[in-house]
Amino acid sequence: MRITLKKAQGDGFSFQDNLSGMYQYGHTITNNLDLNYRTGGLDVTASFWCGRFGHAKMLQENKLSYFVGPDWVEGLVTQEGKNIWKGLSPQLQVNYVVNDNHSFGAFYKYDRHPGADFHDQFITDSYVNGVFTERSVSDVEQHDRFRKHIFNAYYNGKVGSLGIDLNVDGLFDRTETPGSTNESTVLDGVTVSRSIESNTSSRNNFWASKLILSYPVWQGNLSVGGEYSYNHRTDAYSFSATASVPVKATDTEINESSTAAFLEFGRRFGLVFAQVGLRYEHLKNDYYNFNEREDEVCRDYGDWFPSFVVSAPVGKVQLSLSYRRDIQRPAYSSLTSSTVYINRYSYQSGNPYLKPT
């Protein structure tokens, strides 16, 4: 299937500005300015967004019940949190239509959150066989700083009957999340306090490219193409504590490359449209922790993904039957081996041994 964009009508300069705000548990205000200049085949669009979010808060209550040997243990947890963040995002897009058969362009966007303050309080009351035993109060603070660069360049054209669609993408981001947890526990009338200072730092350097060639064959359309992507990710967690905690520091690095090739053929048979496709993906993943390669976590595998679609109108209704085999890979945040301390009852960790499903 080939999609042809209709050229926007009219030349000249235009702009639009939107300002909005609200107040609930705090104030939120955002502003977005859009600019556009068009002449001939050239279309330039720029925008600038900035804002502050602070109107929402979160309240959650949980009850956890379990046996410890013969004893029935219950934990009542109350969690209240508030998040305030500020951000800005300029972007620029340039498109040029040479003629009906050739167009190209590029897009760039910069996202920055110079400050995001998150405060969360956990209050946990514990009971053993219905008798109150202890209360734990944890105050969690996090201060995120985030930067992201997004880039895209494309060419869409046609040489004779051959259609060409080429895209190149890049994404580069960095996140710093310093935080602290101050916890006090009252057990048998004795108060025990502990404090933890931590920092999480992560970076992504991601490139991807995709090329699709299409050509009319056998009264239908045949498309063949390929994709390649590469990501270099680092993720480090460090901490200091006034008392011993079951947490460990990590400094991981993931180098992941993915290569894919695919083909699709679609054709109409009267009112019936049918399309079949086949895709092959190969992924290679190298995992390091403190510069040491962990072979058991590294991945190197390939998969085949067939697909087909059949559609036809039945009266005023369009019916479609489709099949597709796909894969879901775990997010990078789920692969981290660090264990983040929330309070003495709650820890957050990933699992680098997770496999795709």
Report the chain's terminal Cα–Cα distance, integer Å.
29
What is the structure's pLDDT at 243?
A: 81
Global confidence as pTM: 0.83
What is the structure's pLDDT at 2?
A: 46
Residue 7 located in a structural domain: no
Residue 4 located in a structural domain: no
pLDDT tens across 209-259, in order? 999 999 999 999 999 999 999 999 998 888 888 887 777 888 889 999 999
257 contacts 232 by C-beta, under 8 angstroms: no
Geometric angle at alpha carbon 240, from 236 and 242, rounded to 5°: 160
Residue 356 located in a structural domain: no
Domain hosting residue 266, numbered range:
12-349
Tens digit of pLDDT at every position of the chain (357 positions): 444 555 555 689 999 999 999 998 889 999 999 999 999 899 999 999 999 998 888 899 988 888 989 999 998 989 899 989 899 999 999 999 999 999 999 999 999 998 888 898 989 898 999 999 888 899 988 888 999 999 999 999 999 999 999 999 999 999 998 988 898 888 777 888 888 898 889 999 999 999 999 999 999 999 999 999 999 999 888 888 888 777 788 888 999 999 999 999 999 988 899 999 999 999 998 989 888 998 888 888 899 999 999 999 888 899 999 998 888 877 776 777 666 777 777 777 777 777 777
Amino acid identity of 65? S
Q: Please count the structural domains in the chain.
A: 1
What is the structure's pLDDT at 8?
A: 56
Residue 131 located in a structural domain: yes
Residue 2 located in a structural domain: no
Longest CA span, the chain: 85
Residue 5 located in a structural domain: no
351 Cβ contact partners less than 8 Å away, ≥ 6 residues apart:
334, 335, 337
Residue 277 located in a structural domain: yes
Residue 84 located in a structural domain: yes
Task: Name the residue among 146, 144, 25 with its Cα closest to residue 82.
Answer: 25
Scan for tokens 């309070």, then name that residue: 343
